[in-house]
């Protein structure tokens, strides 16, 4: 991935973050997921007064992509004010679609703080391969 591609993906995640619905945590999160076909799907966190029914930005982006027939991802950028990392549920959902997906974690200034992979964020992930050998 080039520096320009990283910058563009982070910028799209940061732009999406403006639409986050975070009235309880005041912690808006934006994500931009790039598919192997080159399409980008954005997502934001959407909170709810019944906290467990809230949804993270990363999973919103993944579900949007899947709902449009995309199942192969190569990168996701996640932007928060302070560069927070994806939660465990988001890591597991990302692992479903490939552990080699690059994960770019940036702050609200658009500064890349960490570049990693789903595999590094979730070592020992439970993947579809485990279900094939049952």
Domain that holds residue 68: 3-132
Q: What DSSP designation does 21 have?
A: B
List the beta bridge partners of residue 78.
Answer: 31, 105
CATH code: domain of residue 9: 3.40.140.10
Per-residue pLDDT, 45? 98
SS3 91: helix
The catalytic residues are 58
Per-residue pLDDT, 132? 83
SS3 content of the chain, % helix, strand, coil (to 5): 35, 25, 40
Per-residue pLDDT, 36? 97
Per-residue pLDDT, 134? 60
Q: How many domains does the chain divide into?
A: 1
List the beta bridge partners of residue 117.
Answer: 102
Per-residue pLDDT, 79? 98
CA distance 99 to 44: 22
Per-residue pLDDT, 130? 87
SS3 18: helix
Q: Pick out the chain residues at pLDDT < 70.
A: 133-134
CA distance 31 to 109: 14
pLDDT tens digits, one per residue of 59-98: 999 999 999 999 999 999 999 999 999 999 999 999 999 9
């Amino acid at each position: 991935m080039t520096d320009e591609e990283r910058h563009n993906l982070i910028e799209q995640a940061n732009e999406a973050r403006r639409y986050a619905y975070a009235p309880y945590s005041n912690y808006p999160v934006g994500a931009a997921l790039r598919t192997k076909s080159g399409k980008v799907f954005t997502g934001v966190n959407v909170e709810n007064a019944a906290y467990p029914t809230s949804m993270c930005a990363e999973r919103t982006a993944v579900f949007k992509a899947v709902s449009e027939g995309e199942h192969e991802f190569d990168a996701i950028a996640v932007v928060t004010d302070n560069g927070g990392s994806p939660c465990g549920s988001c890591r597991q959902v990302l692992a479903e679609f490939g552990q080699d997906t690059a994960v770019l974690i940036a702050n609200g200034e658009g500064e890349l703080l960490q570049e990693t992979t789903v595999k590094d964020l979730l070592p020992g992930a439970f993947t579809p391969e485990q279900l094939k050998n049952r």
